[in-house]
Amino acid sequence: MKRIKGISASSGIAVGKAFLIGREEFSVVCKKISLEDIPSEILRLEDALIKTRRELIEFQKEIEKNLGSEHAQIFDAHLLVLEDRVLIEDVISKIKKNRINVEYAFWEVIKKYIETLSKLDDGYLKERALDLRDVGKRVLKKLLKKDVHPYTQIKEKVI
């Protein structure tokens, strides 16, 4: 038997065929934008946040239907990240101040928050850093138009 370590969505033991999802690496390039492009970059951010929110709500409903509300609660923290006005304003401020593309501004802000939370001795806040990373990657995929889900490759029952 082979043991595989990973990040669980819920506690417990699972036995079955594993569907492994590798770490996604993103290449986020910093691009200078014109003053005229700032409003469209902010709209792209808002659009990506809305689409990510819809996606998470769909996942949450599906999990709740299949596994129960306790398991679906994992998405509550993810949804809160998308509504964090301070984080969103930090991204918008970075776009305006540095006149840079939304992808780069967003990922720089997310990385800063993750780094800050990860350094703390509080286990709860370290978990929030993981939530932030997960949600950040979801939003970034929307911004980069790399929104392909590995789950669509699943053709059999897996864990």
Give per-residue pLDDT as tens, 78-116: 999 999 999 999 999 999 999 999 999 999 999 999 999
Over 70: is that where the pLDDT of 158 sits?
no
Q: What pLDDT was estimated at residue 125?
A: 86
Q: Give the pair of three-digit tokens for residue 71.
A: 């398991």
Phi and psi angles of residue 100, each rounded to the nearest 5 degrees, phi first: -125, 160
> How would CATH label the architecture of 38-143?
Orthogonal Bundle (1.10)
pTM metric for this prediction: 0.77
Q: Residue 89: enclosing H or E segment and its boundaries?
A: helix 85-98
Residues 6+ apart with CB under 8 A from 101: 29, 30, 31, 33, 41, 95
- The CA-based diameter of the chain, rounded to the nearest angstrom, is 59
Q: Show the tokens assigned to 43.
A: 């709209």
pLDDT over threshold 90, residue 148: no
> In this structure, what are the phi and psi dihedrals at residue 11, rounded to the nearest 5 degrees?
-80, 160
Give the total residue count for the chain: 159
pLDDT on residue 74: 84
51 token code pair: 């689409």
pLDDT of residue 70: 87
For the segment 5-24, the average pLDDT, to the nearest whole number, is 60
Q: Could you tell me which residues are beta bridge partners of residue 32?
A: 100
Cα 80 to the chain's mean position, in Å?
11
Q: Is the four-CA dihedral 23, 24, 30, 33 of positive or negative sign? A: negative
